[in-house]
């Protein structure tokens, strides 16, 4: 659960920094939040990896949700366009993230099952391990 909260922090920090970058074009004081936001995003992402989440899952979710949230919030805050095709793209991104996460969970379950099977074979009395 901790890794997911840290990942949420990374996403929020990155989206905040990206939106602040747009705001800084008109008001340069926002550049301070850009720097802090990106530094925080990478700090959170490193903590996510240290907590044990795989790189492919963490980076995929971070990048995909960052793109989707930035596009939606830029439309709401800055009046940038959000066309039906763009919304379809956001749905495809979300679907891709779900596929990566589900695939990761299946791979983790298969790895745990293989480790359990291997430890059961190692713990069997001699001659019952199935080895010839």
- 18-35: average pLDDT: 97
The three-state DSSP-derived secondary structure of the chain is: CHHHHHHHHHHHHHHHHHHHHHHHCCCHHHHHHHHHHHHHHHHHHHHHHHCCCCHHHHHHHHHHHHHHHHHHHHHHHHCCCCCHHHHHHHHHHHHHHHHHHHHHHHHHHHHHHHHHHHHHHHCCCCCCCCCC
pLDDT tens for each residue of 108-130: 888 888 888 888 877 655 555 54
Alpha carbon distance 37, 82 (integer Å): 24
pLDDT tens for each residue of 65-108: 999 999 999 999 999 999 999 999 999 988 988 888 888 888 88
Alpha carbon distance 26, 48 (integer Å): 34
Res 128: pLDDT? 53
pLDDT tens for each residue of 27-60: 999 999 999 999 999 999 999 999 999 898 899 8
For residue 62, name the pLDDT band (cuts at 50, 70, 90). very high
């Amino acid at each position: 659960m901790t890794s997911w909260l840290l990942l949420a922090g990374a996403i929020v920090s990155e989206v905040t920094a990206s939106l602040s970058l747009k705001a800084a074009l008109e008001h340069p004081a926002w550049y301070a939040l850009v720097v802090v936001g990106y530094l925080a995003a990478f700090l959170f992402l490193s903590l996510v990896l240290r907590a044990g989440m795989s790189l492919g899952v963490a980076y995929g979710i971070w990048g995909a949700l960052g793109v989707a949230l930035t596009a939606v919030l830029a439309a709401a805050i800055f009046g940038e366009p959000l066309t039906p095709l763009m919304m379809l793209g956001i749905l495809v991104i979300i679907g891709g993230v779900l596929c990566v996460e589900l695939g990761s969970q299946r791979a983790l379950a298969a790895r745990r099952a293989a480790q359990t099977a291997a430890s059961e074979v190692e713990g069997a009395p001699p001659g019952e391990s199935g080895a010839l």
